[in-house]
Structure formats: C-alpha cells, structure tokens
Structure 1
Amino acid sequence: MNWLITGGCGFIGRALIARLLDEGAQAVRVLDNLSVGSRADLAQVTDFTEMGDRAGNDNWPDGVTLLEGDILDTQAVTQAVSGADIVVHLAANTGVGPSVEDPMGDCRTNVVGTLNMLEACRHAGTKRFVFASSGAPLGVQTPPLHEEMAPHPASPYGASKLAGEGYCSAYYHCFGVETVVLRFGNVYGEGSGHKQSVVAKFTKQALSGERLEIYGDGTQTRDFIHISDLIDAVIRAATKPGVGGETFQIATAQETTVSEMTKALLAVMKDEGLTEPETYFGPMRDGDVMRNFSDTSKAREKLEWVSQVSLEDGLRRTIRYFVAADTV
C-alpha cells in the first residue's frame, strides 16, 4: 500500500508514520507546508527523501518521502495524491481559538483544502480517504456524543470541520471515494511539543515553572485520548473493509473535567519527583463547549477498536517524554 499523509510532519502524522514503519509499511509520502511541523521534527522519526516537483509523480520509493506543499495548492495536491492507495488527511487549521480569530482563513484551509484533497483522490482513483475531524462539528450537545446526533457547531472550527465531513459523504455517495470520518477526542501524548491543547500546554508550562490557567471554573469536560490509541483507530479506519462512508467517534468514552485532568497531571509530576506548579482560574474562551465526551460503541463494533491507555498512564508517558526531550 502507498500511504499519503497530509500534515505528516505534525504530532499525529509523525506518530502514524512511526507506527506504519514499525508494522512494515514500505512507501509513505508526506504532504506538508511546514507551517507547524518541520523537517527536523520528521527527521526525529525517520530518515526521508525530498520529492521533486514533477506533477503526476507515480514513483513511490521505499521509505518516507516529503513533498513540501500546501493543500490549497491544487498542483501540489495532485502530485501528492498520484499513485496513493490510502490518504490520511490530517492537515488542517486546528483549534477553536484560531478559528474565532480568523474564520475566513479557517474556512479556506479546512473546507477548500479538504475539497482539493477529495477531488484529487476522485481523479486518481484512491481507494481510501481518512478524514481527521473532531467533536467540534456536533458542538453544543448533551453528551455522550454519538454519530447520529444532529450537529450544532459552536465555533468556526466546528463549522469548517462539519463542511469537510459533508464533502466526504458527498464524494462517497457521488464518486465512490471510500471516505472514513474520524471524530477525534482530545489527543495528547509523546511528540506533542507543538500542540496548544490543554495537556501539552499544561505539561510544557509546568516544566517551565509557569502557572497553569484553567479557563472558567474547570468543570468543562473533555475526552482525553492517548496518541497510541488514536493511531490504532486511524490504521483500522484506513485498512478495514466495509467501512467506506462511515463516521466514527474516536475517544475513550470517559468524561473528565479539566480540573480533574489537571489534578491527575500534578499527581503524576509529584510521583516523578517534579515541582508542582500553581494553578489559577481565568475567563472562559469564546466557542468552547462545557461538556464533551463520546460514545465509542460504533467504533468498537465496526472497527473492532477500543482505547487501551488510561489517563494516568498516558499522562505519565507524556511527562516522561517532555522531560527527556528537555534534557537531550
């Protein structure tokens, strides 16, 4: 199988590449504009070669190949998709905050960029297209979140991801592209140095001796999923027969308040002999939802997938990674 991973220099992309190589994948191509991840980040996972600028390149050498390009560049997208059996589309504008600050930019990347990818896959005959989404399209709901809920996005990010999901459905039904939508929970873990999500942000701040700001009163809930569990789900979604056109909630089915997560993080830091930081409460952010966790029974049934890593174990792995990275 020839794997194309958009945004492959980022946190999730690098973890996916590492797993694919461990499991014997021979040809992996990365399309990344290097706005977040970098060549140096990718080099920490594996050696790679640079891809030339010849459009329609069907040459897939063994190992990992990097094509520097943007999903808004149709020529780069066409070149990247050519010859791909599986596309895992991770490249995106991520997070509620940036989408509130720049809704138009969020739309261009997450809607037009995704449409560019789907259109290229349609013409290239790509077998499977896995789209990275989140709980944000569902927005304001009474959890647990599940796949049959009517969406009510509470942020431009949620709206743009919902549009991407809609195009995935349309390209499956109209053009036969085997799209699979994965709505990720709050992903954390080793390799998340560039992320600004709460676990990575708090871990970096804590190790730097900074105070931790909890938005609101800390009672908002999230479903925190470790990166290793997420990658298991991505690979199953990319390879399992009979799941084209489906959407799956990919999380732990555990509701955890931000305050509870913070207490667990501080407890692990104490166990690891690290200094516990101070915490304080700040204002709520625009676009944030109060409760968010998922019913993952559909993924268990159709993907034969369940999460395995507990929050405590995942936080411990994350802290040890950041401590080791800081001392290298």
Structure 2
Amino acid sequence: MRILVTGGSGFIGRHVVAALQDEGHEVAVVDRVPFSGPGVRAVTGELEDPAVRDEAVAAGTDAVVHLAAETSVLGSMERPALVHRVNVEVTAALLELSRERGVGAFVLASTNAVVGSFEGTFTEDVPLAPLTPYGATKAAGEMLLSGYSGAYGVRTPALRLTNVYGPGMRHKDSFIPRLMRAAADHGSVQVYGDGLQRRDLVHVHDVARAFVAAATSWPSGPVIIGSGISHTVLDLVDAAREATGAPIPFEHVPGKPGEMPAVVVDIGRARARGFEPSISLLEGVRMAWADFAPSTAS
C-alpha cells in the first residue's frame, strides 16, 4: 500500500514509518520537521497550509496515518484556539482532501482523554466526556472520522493510546525520560503524591505494529491500544533502577490537582483484531535506556 504518515518525524511517527517499511509498504511523510530516511517521500511544512496538504496527499495514496497534533494537555488549556485549529480543522481538511482523492483509510492517533476522568476500567464504550481542550479536540476528531465512515465509506480506525514509551524519547519530558536522565546524570526525580497512581504504559514498537494493522485492515471505530497492565509510579522507579543499575533517589511532592488515581484499560477489542503487546515494562525500559546511557549519550 501507499501510506502517508503525518507527523512522521516525531517519536511515534518514526517507529510507524519503520514498521510500515518493514512490511513492504510505500511510505510518505509530512511534518514541520524535515524527515530523512531511505525510500520515503518527504514533505516539509505546516499542515495548516493547504499547499502542504495538497503535496502530501498525493494521487494514489491508499491510507493516511494521522499522528500530527498538538498533544500537550497543559498547552491546550493555555492555547485552546491553536489546539482546535491544529487538531480539529487540520484533521477535517485532511479527511476531506483524502475523500476527494479516493483514499480508502484514515487512521487517527487518539487518546483515552476523550472520556475524561473515569473510575473503573476504560473500554471503548465509555461515553465521551473530555475535561480539557486537548481531549475535546481528539473527541471531535473521532466524530469527524465516524461521519466520514458513515457518509462516504472511508475506513476510519481511531487508536486511543495509553502512555507510549521506548527508544527515541531523549527530547521528551514524561516520567520515563525523567527517570532515564536522572540515572544518566546521577540525579533524582519527583514523585507526585504517594506514588501509587497506576498507569498503563505501552511500548512504541507495539504501538507502531498497531498502526500498521489499523492502516491495512482494521475496521472503523475507536480501539484502545495499551499494554493491558497498569503499574504504579513506584513500580516505574523500581523498573528504571533495575534497567539502569542506578539508585535514582526520589522525593515525594504534593500531587497535582485533578490527577487520576488509576488508569486501567481493557484492550480486548484490540486483541480481537490481532493486537498483542509483546514487550514487558522492564524490557522496554532497558530499550529506552540505550538512548540515555553515558556510553551513548551525546
């Protein structure tokens, strides 16, 4: 297949591009950050620009994997208009251009933030009730996909990702990279509250496989992509200590207002479509450590 990956220069995007190429697909990338890699048609620019979209969605494209987005929850609260423009208006424009050019599938990178705060196990059937502009824009994106699937027959899977980690996170500021930097620099980390908050972490290699499967064959609708196992923050510290061999001291600081005590997801729908997480937390943290270890850090 000929598949366009938006945001293909990003953390998840580069793994998706590699996974698609491994399966023999012809890949194009559009991103504001230049992409370099063998065998990839690269378009550099902002997707808000119609000319960039026009160049990216070339005739003969079979599927679009739409990863490009403003993903900061805090940033969405500070700049809601920008996030709406990038996450909703650009998605709508890409969908319409894809329809006009006969693209058969459009896959959205979504999030469980579309359902907001929820006590219990997340499934795809939990009603949409986002609590932030970011979550609202992703919910809007899912609704756009549903409309185009119903009206025009476009195949539109939406992958609701949990916390994605793995190689290529040196520029990130989420908890796993903070742990890796603390190990490399003999530093420490802060743990919010008691550290017993539970989170589902899924390795980026598994996520990339899910996007390949979604682009090539999955039906329309939301699918939760996670590991299916929730770990406490203190579990993550322990895994990082074992993976790096560093003590990684930490201090407890007051919890953040509104932080969810637990994120537990049911990945039964993904499993029914052939997805199975393959990388354990400890193995995955060891793979992430390779980017930060003093012998490889630049």
Give the 5 Å matches for 1:228-243.
228-240=205-217, 243=218
Deviation at 1:286, TM superposition (A): 5.0
Please tell me the residue identity of whatever aligns with 1:284.
G
- Aligned with residue 116 of structure 2, among 139, 142, 145: 139
CA deviation vs aligned residue, 1:237-284 (integer Å, no higher than 9, x gap): 1111xx4322100001111122221221122222xxxx3222122343
Task: Tell me the residue number matched to 1:247.
Answer: 222
Shift in Å, 1:97: 2.2
Q: Distance in 2 between matches of 1:162 and 1:285?
A: 24
The equivalent residue for 2:290 is 320
Q: Report the equivalent of 1:178.
A: 155
Match for residue 198 of structure 1? 175
Q: Deviations over 1:39-77 (max 9, x none)?
A: 4xx44xx23xxxxxxxxxxxxxxx102111222122211
Aligned mates of 1:229, 1:268 — CA distance in 2: 19
TM-score, normalisation: structure 1? 0.85
> 1:290 maps to which residue?
261
Instruction: Provide the rounded CA distance (Å) in 1 between the counterparts of 2:129 and 2:52.
Output: 33
- Correspondence 1:12-27 to 2 at 5 A: 12-25=12-25, 27=26
How has the CA–CA distance of structure 1 residues 202 and 109 changed in structure 2, closer, same or farther, with 3 Å as cutoff? Answer: farther
- Return the offset for 1:121: 0.9
The equivalent position to 2:93 in structure 1, one of 106, 110, 116, is 116
Residue 324 of structure 1 deviates from its aligned partner by: 7.0
Shift of 1:180: 0.6
Q: Distance in 2 between matches of 1:138 and 1:325?
A: 42
Give the direction of change, closer, same or farther, for the CA distance of 1:94–1:214 in structure 2 (3 Å limit). Answer: same
- Identical residues among aligned pairs (%): 35
Question: Taking structure 1 as reference, are residues 224 and 325 closer, same or farther at Cα in structure 2, changes over 3 Å only?
Answer: farther
- Aligned equivalent of 1:278: 249
Instruction: Give the structure 2 partner of residue 80 of structure 1.
Output: 56
Q: Residue in 1 aligned with 2:277?
A: 307
User: Could you tell me how far apart the structure 1 residues matched to 2:159 and 2:7 are?
Assistant: 16
- Equivalence map 1:53-64=2 (5 Å): 63-64=39-40
Q: Return the alpha-carbon distance in structure 2 between the equivalents of residues 74 and 285 of structure 1.
A: 40
What does residue 194 of structure 2 align with?
217
CA-based RMSD: 1.8
Paired residue type of 1:252? S
CA distance in 1, matches of 2:125, 2:135: 16
Q: 1:71 touches 1:116 (CA, 8 Å); kept in 2?
A: no
CA-to-aligned-CA distance 1:131-183 (integer Å, 9 cap, x gap): 00111111111232110111222222111111111111111112222111000
Deviations 1:173-229 (A, max 9, x none): 122221110001100001122222221233234323332122333222211001111
Q: 1:224 to 1:182 in 2, by over 3 A?
A: same
Q: Is the 8 A contact 1:184 1:251 kept in 2?
A: yes
What is aligned with 1:100? Answer: 77
- Structure 2: unaligned runs, 5 residues or longer: none
Moved more, 64-73 or 183-192: 64-73
Structure 2 equivalent of residue 60 of structure 1: none
Contact 2:197–2:260 (CA<8 Å) still a contact in 1?
yes
Amino acid of the residue matched to residue 40 of structure 2?
V
Please tell me the residue identity of whatever aligns with 1:14: R
Q: 1:259 to 1:154 in 2, by over 3 A?
A: farther
In 2 relative to 1, CA 187–310 (structure 1 residues): closer, same or farther, beyond 3 Å? same
The reply on whether 1:267 has 2:242 as its aligned counterpart is yes
Judged with a 3 Å threshold, the aligned counterparts in structure 2 of structure 1 residues 29 and 276 are, in CA distance, closer, same or farther, namely same
